[in-house]
Chains A and B, each alone.
Chain A
Amino acid sequence: MKSSLAALGVIAALGLSACASDPSESTASGDLTVAATDSDCKVSATKLEAGPSTFTVTNKGSKVTEFYVYADGDRIMGEVENVGPGLTRKLVVDLPKGTYEGACKPGMIGDGIRQTLSVTGEAAKPLSDSEELKAAAESYARYVKSQSDTLIVKTTEFVDAVKAGDVDKAKTLFPIARTYWERIEPVAEKFGDLDPITDGREPDAKAAGIEFTGWHRIEKQLWVENNTTGMDKYADQLLDNVKKIVQLGQDTPLTALELAQGSKGLLDEVATGKITGEEDEFSHTDLWDFKANIEGSQAAISSLRPVLVEQDPALVKDLDAKFAALDTELNQHQDKATGEWAFYDELSKDQIKALSDAVAALSEPISKVAAAIAQSA
């Protein structure tokens, strides 16, 4: 410990003298290196530009070390733990203007060997300010508009059939109307109180102590009771709420980052709700929703494509290949003549596993989209 503390003093002094003797030292941005030994912690620059910085920490000592970036009061801005001797690890930290300390902790104990880091310049622009990202958000807003117009038309047809007591027609229209809903689901989910009463499931309604309403309430009546008795009020309410969500969605469009997160959210929906047959437990029309989620995700990626191609062309290539593979797997369950999808309970375990594998294969690269978008700002 004594030697560590002594080393700390030396480093701090060196750091100060370096700054004092050379005030014109150039400001680094982006990539920095940290050379850590058992008694030393050399950061390649002590003046940084505001924004994300990547520290590449190499442990040239004999003890396992850690590297921290601390703000005032030792608030941790970023940390990379557990860097074994001879190993190199990276740390990305987004630092606004201010004074920080970088600290190596050989042996992973004590306060560490510290070096002052001063960050100058303006904080990075908010993501939405980039022209390219704005264009992506606008492109997706147009998609949402086109889908929501049809959503209202199809939901109206469905609601009319329910209210007219036409069970067969209502059953036919149910998965079709829901297709437009599922394609833009991230929009609906943004409005926390409307989503559960529109698309909630029975056990969740019970648990929350609210009335079971919306799409799935009517679905249950149609498939379990095979009638529309008592459904008028749920039908009217469904159409009202769908219209409200559409309006809210157009008033507050998704940002590019929300869009990136939404493209992943849609696949998560598939992985947790559709692949398990939970979503449409009475009608078993899950594959309609499945396909719609995938289309929605693909639309989000299409809008972001110009930015993604610039940021990470390999990721775009991977996404294209995985979307195509999932389509191939999924489309074999569609009747090409009628456009109708197989019912979930008709699928074999092997077929469901193959779909699950294809969704997982796509979900991994999709989970990297948000970071690529964030980096582009």
Chain B
Amino acid sequence: MSTEDSTTGSGLSRRKLLGAAGIGAIAAGAAGVGAGYAAGDKPAPVVPDKDALPIPFEGKHQAGIVTPAQDRLYFATFDMTSDERDDLISLLKDWTKASRQMSQGNDVGDFGAVAGAPYSPPEDTGEALGLPPSGLTITIGFGRSLFVDAKGKTRFGLDGQLPDRLKPIPGFSGDRLDPAISDGDIAIQACANDPQIAVHAIRNLARIAFGRASVRYSQMGFGRTSSTSTAQVTPRNLFGFKDGTANVKVEDKTDVEDFVWVHQEDGPAWLVGGSYLVSRKIDMRIETWDREPLNGQEAIIGRTKGSGGPMSGGDEFAPIDFDAKDDAGQPLIDMKSHVRLAHPDFNRGAKLLRRGYNFVDGSNGLGQLSAGLFFIAYQRDPEKQFVQIQGSLAGLQNDLLNEYIVHVSSGLFACPPGVTTTGFWGEGLFA
């Protein structure tokens, strides 16, 4: 994976960027200091690349959900290695503090990467020195196993806080799930416009966790496969098709409220303003797909490969006419096409905020790429949304695409709401 797209070649140094980044951060928050700047300083000499700027860490909701999707992902889940409630609380506090620092482009700790005592290991691992914040967001979610063990016994005294909707995702026809890369007590999604920044985040959080939690598995992703904002061009997945045309977009406030955030009446109280994250690692049979004729590929997806317009006609964002037929009376949108089976019209109106990434984990030794889509979706009610839609798609009798994909991992996590400037992730759990 190359870092060149976002950092080098632009002629901008981190220092200049950071100067501007700091200003950006102030403009967004910290009113007192911001006022001082506005009154007393000259215009910023450099207009930084907006992909390099920091994204506010605090807020009503966690960053990294409706934040316009960045280019890179490093996702990891952790299992608690301690059974002590105090260790869980201190871990969440330490993680929040470090994530707050990293998301604003600062080093982890009081002394950071190079300013500590010579005989101490540096607090920050250092590979982000000289790089801009790069839109880093760090988003946390809690798995069912954090609340109760496999036998339903409480962990950390949290059984009373277990959300009803955080129940195991049912198995689907065609699933080939590997438990070693599924589930986990806690999930962390780090997204940034520079892969080194995303890796730095997970690496430092893993280091902070030693003795309290350890990484269960992790996954790198590149090339966001969904746009989450109307300001973003719809990207392509590794099948070469535009992905996420009909995704929930940040700008559609009604959709975001209805389909992403947990409401008061949904409960539990600690999760209000949060969301549920579903992760699925989907292996793609890239080579056989590439041998499929163009008209076959388009029929399977239900959209043209070039513009992404529906097979019923029109451009990418044209409404889909599921009843349209060709001269021979055959439906233009195949009855088993991906776009039909996944559409809200056939799923009781369900929509998802998808935030997935492409991945390539090298190759499999048989001349084939180990590649696919690391699917991430946020939603208010997993059963009515992801489970409903996946139920329509799964199985060789259904979505034509299933001949070319296989789900190999699964995870469901309850993501708490955002934090205040002094709060920590999930503090409502311990109130």
Contact = CB atoms under 8 A, between A and B. Distances in A.
Interface in B284-325: none
B404 interface: no
Nearest to A83: B106
A80 B19 contact: no
Contact of A82 (B34, B112, B214): B112
Contacts of A358: 81
A62 B120 contact: no
A92 B36 contact: no
Nearest to B211: A361
B107 A62 contact: no
A356 B211 CA distance: 10
Interface stretch (A42-50, A214-222, A363-371): A363-371
Nearest to A86: B33
A64 B214 CA distance: 34
B200 to A, nearest CB: 13
Choose among B107, B116, B119 the residue with the greatest number of A CB atoms under 10 Å from its CB: B119
A373 B15 contact: no
A84 interface: yes
B210 A361 contact: yes
A324 interface: no
Interface in B89-123: 104-107, 110-112, 114-121
A167 interface: no
A92 B114 CA distance: 10
Contacts of B104: 84
Nearest to B54: A84
Given A62-B33, A81-B129, A38 B15 contact: no
Interface stretch (B22-30, B142-150, B339-347, B395-403): B22-30
A322 B212 CA distance: 11
Contacts of B36: 62
A82 B107 contact: yes
B214 A92 contact: no
Given A38-B40, A82-B106, A371-B120, A322 B115 contact: no
Nearest to B113: A81
Interface string A291-322: 00000000000000000000000000000001
B115 A90 contact: yes
A360 B82 CA distance: 13
Contacts, number: 113
Interface string B34-75: 101100110000000000000000000000000000000000
Contact of B115 (A91, A362, A373): A91
Interface string B199-242: 00000000100111010000000000000000000000000000
Given A62-B26, A87-B106, A360-B214, A79 B115 contact: yes
Contacts of A365: 211
Interface in A59-89: 62-64, 78-82, 84-89
B37 A62 contact: yes
A257 interface: yes
A370 B118 CA distance: 10
A109 interface: yes
Interface string B125-158: 0000100000000000000000000000000000
Most buried by B among A78, A81, A374: A81
Interface in B230-263: none
A86 B23 CA distance: 12
Given A80-B114, A89-B111, A91-B115, A62 B106 contact: no
8 smallest CB-CB distances across A and B, nearest first, come from: A361-B211, A62-B37, A80-B115, A371-B120, A374-B119, A91-B115, A108-B15, A64-B22
7 contacts: A63-B19, A78-B115, A85-B30, A89-B110, A107-B15, A361-B211, A370-B120
Interface of B: 15-16, 18-19, 21-23, 25-26, 30, 33-34, 36-37, 40-41, 81, 104-107, 110-112, 114-121, 129, 207, 210-212, 214
